[in-house]
Amino acid sequence: AMITEKSAALYARAVEVMPGGNSRTAVYSSPYPVYVRSGSGARVTDVDGVERIDFLNNSTTLIHGHAHPEMVEAIAAAVGHGTSFGMPTPVEVEYAEALSARNETFEHVRFTSSGTEAVMMAVQAARAYTERPKIAKIAGAYHGAYDAVAVNNDGSGNLISHAVTGNPEGVVANTVVIPFNDPEGSLEVLRRHADDLACVLIDPVPWRIGLLPASKEWLDALREFCDASGAVLISDEVGSYRVGYHGAMQLLGAEADITVMGKVIAAGMPIGAVAGRRRFMSVFDPSKGKPALPHSGSYNANPVSMSSGIASLRLLTPQAHERIGQLGEQARGSMRTALGEAGLDWEVNGLGSLFRVVANSAPAGYDSAAAAMKALYWKLLENGIHIGDSGLGCISTPMGEEEIAEYAVAFAKSLGQVLAEGRA
């Protein structure tokens, strides 16, 4: 069994001052989570001194792993000059140049402090640009905590609009849901609301509904609809931008009007970015009087996040993307082999450096597929590996063949233990 005394003690303190001892639902686990003391490269050490390989990397954010020397240097230097100002700084311009150079649709960019905020501003930009109220999103897909997108975000793929508890009816009524990778089904919904739609918001590789890439046929149908109706096509790549040097949409042969990014584009510091064609981004422009969409934030484009971003993009060369993409393919292959040998019908999906184990069925002795996945999460922790308890994982640049080999062994072993305990 795992040594977790110090985590247990910390959690006992946490519940006294935070609801359920928690500030982030995603990092809670029952009876209590494992607390981390530090990370270095591909590995993390918990408060009890146990070291593990980290395949979650803060929900796929840390593409360069933990405490990468160049990232640490860039961030420390920035902090030494002041963390934030009520004035712009040179690094904002430098970072905007580096980001916009990645994709020709990123003509203008604008920064926030989180992916949630960036989605919020992209949706508001589409509404300001079109002066229309409704948005369309994929059934089951997650786009952060903003009211308008906190609808049908539970991974269920259910087409009947349902929202986070307490989300007002008026908000929910303005969000319509479309089926992922179904061109005909999507167009049927979109055409019904065409005159009222400000945008179609998608994630080209949506993790919560299994991390399957969008099909070219579906993306083409959406692009055509948006061009004809005047709706703005928004690609939320907060999680999926990392699949290729130019982002997910370009890799899949498509083009968005506005792209939302976060996570890997600063690899550890709070960041969100809205990037798009000049005409859509013009709603933010204050240089000609009051903009259609005023947008501020005390930490927008702060020099610490900007410096972190410059360093992260510098390290994310086309070669780096390709290398971790190949390691991702190896990892997915080893998991598929282990699942096949165990006789399980579970799937392994993903693209590039992203993977997700999708539990399709509950093995003997488990109430649900989710419960079996949770058991696998704990077994992997016991065997020196950290992935998400939903089966989500990714490759970071400090990883090499050695980490992938260690993972393959631990995955097969953990899976065997989960199945054996279920049968026992």
| Widest distance between CA atoms in the chain | 71
**What are the DSSP calls for 76-135, one per residue?**
HHHHHT-S--SS--HHHHHHHHHHHTT-TT-SEEEEESSHHHHHHHHHHHHHHHH---EE
Question: Is 353 one of the annotated binding-site residues?
Answer: no
> The tokens of 357 are what?
């184990």
Token readout for 406 is: 């260690």
Rounded to an integer, what distance in angstroms lies between the CA atom of residue 353 and that of residue 365?
33
DSSP string, 234-277: EEE-TTTGGGSTT-HHHHTT---SEEEEEGGGTBTB--EEEEE-
Pure H helices in 243-390: 248-251, 278-281, 303-315, 318-341, 369-382
**Residue 115 is assigned to a ligand binding site:** yes
- Phi first, then psi, for residue 235 (nearest 5°) are -105, 115
Q: How far is CA 399 from CA 42, 56, 72, 212, in A?
A: 6, 13, 18, 23
**343 marked ligand binding residue:** no
AA identity, residue 48: D
- In 3D space, the residue among 245, 12, 297 whose CA is nearest the CA of residue 106 turns out to be 245
Nearest partner of 373 among 349, 350, 392, 389, judged by Cα: 389
Would strands 385-386 and 134-138 be described as parallel, antiparallel, or unpaired? unpaired
Residues contributing to the annotated binding site: 115-116, 298
Residues contributing to the annotated binding site for pyridoxal 5'-phosphate: 115-116, 298
